[in-house]
Amino acid sequence: MDSPLVRTLPWTLGAGLTSTVLFWFGTNLEPVPWLTWIAALPVLALAARVRPRSAAVTGGLAYAVGGIPTWWYLLATINVPLPAVLGMFALAAIMLGVVTGGFGWMLRRGHPVAAAVFAPAAWVAMEFGYTLAASDVMGSNTSVAYTQADVLPVLQLVSVTGTWGVTFLLLAVPAAAAVVTAPGVTVRVRSWVGGAVAVLLAGTLVFGLVRMDTQDGQLRAAAIGLSDTGSVSIEYDADEAEKLFGRYDGKLAELADDGVALAVLPEIAFRVDDPKDIPGYLDKWGELAREHGIDVVAGIRLATVKADPPGEGNPHDDYAYNAAVYFPADGGDPVKYYKMRTGPGVGPWLKLGDEPKYVPGSDNRLGLIVCGDLDHPDVAAAFRDGSAAVLLGPSLENRKNPQVDAWWHSRAAITRGVEQGMSLVRSAQFGVMTVSDAYGRILAEDTRTAVGSVSTERVTTVYSRLGDWFAWLCVALLAGSLVAAVRRTTPISSQKDRDHELVKA
């Protein structure tokens, strides 16, 4: 007589393979957003019918293997050490393993409502914990919520809950579907669970559609990236640097004639390896801004000590700042903002800044920020607390494989803007140039020059006032669902019945 394992093996393999494919295409660096909503459904439906341990292993492997495009990107493109990537692989397996195994365990004990709450709450709680633990490096860069960044009605939810609300929905929908189709669940419970999640989803869409206001653009701004050298950062007096400076000179003249008031250039496109050379080089950019009558924000690497040996890959700790430098059109003094967070693959040369900086005379409405700082909700919140309405962000992306992370990284930055109610002008040296508003609408996007008009009016959001309240609510919901499942056991069917339900067709 066949064992339960043998009887359910084809279904287990089928569910695991299906979820793996859906995660592969639904959570990669340029995802298909609707696939993310159903990616967990096959393994959650399986969890309602097999033993929790089998469900946990299947779900964990599906998510970890489905994430291979991301793990490979981290390893091969941005040089995250192999042990760290393997750790992330294992963590991914544990996360969805806990969700699917716990979901099946609660159904087995006769608690379908607790199971429907547990799955999304546990996912958010674990993602929240990972973000807190990796806050100094990764921030929230790996959140599955970014898969919905181009689905604007859904994206508006982050203005209330942060990314946690979108993450919750992405697991709540398949969890509810799995409960509704699970064997032994009463019609009444199916109706309550399915109806509750349908109301949540419909409410999110209605809120998103109503929230997207039309903003009048008061600031005509451009994000431009003209580097074609392949170098991340060129010494300011090298021939290549002079040629690139000349190209920006011509482009800024063109933009000024077109009525552009402010231009943002990419992160660390130029570098100064000797502190004594910094004032003279900044004066050169200041004169350029004054000559063309246009405000300029340029990304420049500024040494704190003379490089010895000089070069892009100088090994010294705290050797240089990664700066966004604002040069006013009126010829006034430049303002230097220093990047406040490091990131994966960044060398020890980076010396971090510790405070936001704003464009003088803007009533703090225009903030200076750099690339990976926008992966960190707390950094964006610091600018919003200072009353910023627009962030001006020199950015980089990856030289090894240009455009590979352009969509993901730009959308993570745009999501920060929606969370905090801020527009964004972002220039990525090896990615895309984007101009977006406080509702996540992309006003302009291009690989070389993006020009759009952004509002300088501040947009207040619930998230900017209350922070990670929803993440903590999910921690409480997780605890509550566990207590409910542990306190009382009311099996809705035996395992034998579940095996029969799975294979009776």
What distance separates the 2 farthest-apart alpha carbons in the chain? Answer: 87
Give the residue-averaged pLDDT of 100-109: 94
pLDDT at 251 over 80: yes
pLDDT at 181 over 50: yes
How large a percentage of the chain has pLDDT more than 70?
Answer: 90
Residue with more model confidence, 414 or 233: 414
Give the residue-averaged pLDDT of 130-139: 76
Q: Which two tokens stand for residue 423?
A: 């527009």
Q: Are 264 and 424 in contact (CB under 8 A)?
A: no
pLDDT in tens, 435-494: 999 999 999 999 999 999 999 998 999 999 999 999 999 999 999 999 988 876 666 554
Report the range of poorest mean pLDDT among 64-68, 137-141, 172-176, 335-339: 137-141
Distance from C-alpha of 289 to C-alpha of 256, rounded to nearest angstrom: 10
Rg of the chain over Cα atoms, rounded to whole angstroms, equals: 25
pLDDT at 255 over 90: yes
SS3 content of the chain, % helix, strand, coil (to 5): 50, 15, 35
Give the residue-averaged pLDDT of 78-103: 88
According to the model, what pLDDT value does residue 131 have?
86
Q: Which two tokens stand for residue 359?
A: 């464009």
How large a percentage of the chain has pLDDT more than 90?
Answer: 70
According to the model, what pLDDT value does residue 4 have?
62
According to the model, what pLDDT value does residue 75 have?
83
Instruction: Grade residue 495 by pLDDT with cuts at 50, 70 and 90.
Output: very low
Extended strands (E) in 273-422: 295-303, 320-327, 335-338, 350-351, 357-358, 366-368, 390-395
pLDDT at 505 over 50: no
Q: Which two tokens stand for residue 204?
A: 């999110």
Q: SS3 of 137, please?
A: coil
Give the residue-averaged pLDDT of 428-433: 91
> 126 to each of 38, 46, 97, 129, 469, how far by Cα in Å?
20, 22, 12, 5, 15
Helix residue spans in 109-151 (DSSP H): 112-133
Nearest to 142 by CA among 28, 25, 23, 16: 28
What is the residue whose two structure tokens read 């570098």?
Answer: 271
pLDDT at 305 over 80: no
According to the model, what pLDDT value does residue 2 have?
60
Instruction: Grade residue 403 by pLDDT with cuts at 50, 70 and 90.
Output: low
Beta strands at 433-436 and 442-446: parallel, antiparallel or unpaired? antiparallel
Distance from C-alpha of 41 to C-alpha of 498, rounded to nearest angstrom: 18
Distance from C-alpha of 234 to C-alpha of 242, rounded to nearest angstrom: 10
Q: Are 63 and 96 in contact (CB under 8 A)?
A: yes
* Three-state secondary structure string covering 17-52: HHHHHHHHHHCCCCCCHHHHHHCCHHHHHHHCCCCH
pLDDT at 498 over 60: no
pTM for this structure?
Answer: 0.91
Instruction: Grade residue 499 by pLDDT with cuts at 50, 70 and 90.
Output: very low
pLDDT at 204 over 90: yes
Report the range of poorest mean pLDDT among 22-31, 78-87, 166-175, 275-284: 78-87
According to the model, what pLDDT value does residue 216 have?
78
Task: For residue 110, give the DSSP letter.
Answer: T
